[in-house]
Structures are given as C-alpha cells and as structure tokens.
Amino acid sequence: MTVDLRKEQQASLERPRYPYSAVARFFFSSMDAMVGREATLAKATLIETLAGVPYRAWQNRQYPSMKRNRDDELVGKAPAILAWAREAEDNEHRHLLVIEEKMRQDGVKEPWYLSPPSPQLMARSYALLTWAMALLDTRRGFLLNAELEDHAEHTYAQMVRDHPEWEEQPVAGEVVTKYGDFETWADVFRRIALDERDHMNNSFRFCGKPDRVVQYEGMPEAAG
C-alpha cells in the first residue's frame, strides 16, 4: 500500500512529542549546545551517524544483556530483535548516505563536528550511554531509543517545512535512487522521517509500551 508522505509529515508536525526522560533531554540539549539548535543537513548527518550506534550494540550484546536481566519475554524475542536491529542499522546508514549526497549537491561544507575525531568521540559516548541503559534495564534501553527516534522524526518533518524549495528540487543521484523512488527532495526527507517513526514504533513494542505505537495507513508489519 502506498503511503501518503505529505499526510504523514503533517501528522508528525501535529503530534506532540513524547514526554522525554531526563536522560533524553540531556542528550538533546548537549547536542544543541555543541552544534547549535538549528536543524541543518550537517546536524542531520551527525544524528544519523549516532542513530546506528544502539542497533550495532544490540546486535553485539543484546542477548547476553537480556539474560542478565532475566527478561524471559525479551530473550524469547531475541532473534526478532537482532533481525530488526540489522535492518534498522542498514536503514540509518542509507539515510546517512542520502544526506551526505544532498550536502554534496548543495555544496554544503562540513562543519568542525563532522571532522575526526569529533564524530568518533560522540559515537563512543553515545555507545557507552546505550550500553549502560541496556545493562541496567534492557527495556529502558529500547525506550531511550524510542525517544531518540521520536525526536528524529519530528526534526526531519520540521526540516521539510523549513525548506519549501525542496518541493521543487528533483531527485538526482544513484545514492538516492537506491534508497527509493522519489520525485523531489522534500519526499526523500519525508520518507526518512517516516522511517524514524517506524524505528520508534518497534522500540516501543520491545520496551513494553505498545500503546505508544503511532498507527498509520500503509505502515510495515511489526518486528517480532
């Protein structure tokens, strides 16, 4: 079923953000303090660089973590969680490539925080945070990821609204066509926003909050 990307972007803009935890708010405010509050393509690149971190961590350590926490329900879902984590990580990497291509086409220079070693240091710090959350409470780790994906969804929906010129910019480049069939760059970023909602929904399911899943017409099947 075809998804109405414009409709879902508007739904993202109208839906209140999840009531973020203190940890999530600290993470968002720390990033804003370092790189600015404005949602730019460069900042989106950093967001996508960090977005794959928890999915990689879950692939490497999720099953032992769940066993330590003696969460039998999640242990039983481990194969589904790992399969979803691989798919989500690949999806976030595609986002990164697409945004880098947009920066290249627009002639956007990389700011300081995209030059080594800054991205690596941020990724390691984030990896430590996600590892600690999973170690203390696996479900809380999934909830934190849901919060971050909710934040990303709203950020991309806002970016499309802030860049009406994208509505007239045709898509070009093999990197983007490999991601999907889109007519304009506005639709590319609407799709990225919706991908983040899908990641959020599965994170809510695995953290035990299925009531927080945002339903929409044409949504993919639930992981697990």
| Domain segments of the chain as ranges | 5-212
**Reduced to 3 states, what is the DSSP secondary structure of residue 182?**
coil
**Average pLDDT of the chain to the nearest whole number:** 90
pLDDT digits (tens, 9 = 90+) for 47-102: 999 999 989 877 776 556 555 656 667 777 888 888 899 999 999 999 999 999 99
- Say what the pTM is: 0.92
Long-range contact pairs involving 213-217 (C-beta distance under 8 Å, separation at least 24): 214/11, 214/15, 216/3, 216/8, 216/11, 217/1, 217/3, 217/4
**Reduced to 3 states, what is the DSSP secondary structure of residue 111?**
coil
In this structure, what token pair is assigned to residue 22? 């203190």
pLDDT the model gives residue 116: 86
Distance CA 171, CA 60 (A): 36
- If residue 205 lies in a helix (H) or strand (E), which one and from where to where? helix 185-206
Cis peptide before 64 (omega within 30 of 0): no
CA distances from 147 to 10, 25, 174 (A): 19, 9, 32
Q: Give the chain's end-to-end CA distance (angstroms, integer).
A: 21
Give the architecture-level CATH label for domain 5-212. Up-down Bundle (1.20)
Tell me what the mean pLDDT of segment 126-140 comes to: 79
pLDDT digits (tens, 9 = 90+) for 143-199: 999 999 999 999 999 999 999 999 999 998 999 999 999 999 999 999 999 999 999
Which range is least confidently modeled, 4-18, 103-117, 133-147, 207-221? Answer: 133-147
pLDDT digits (tens, 9 = 90+) for 49-61: 999 998 987 777 6
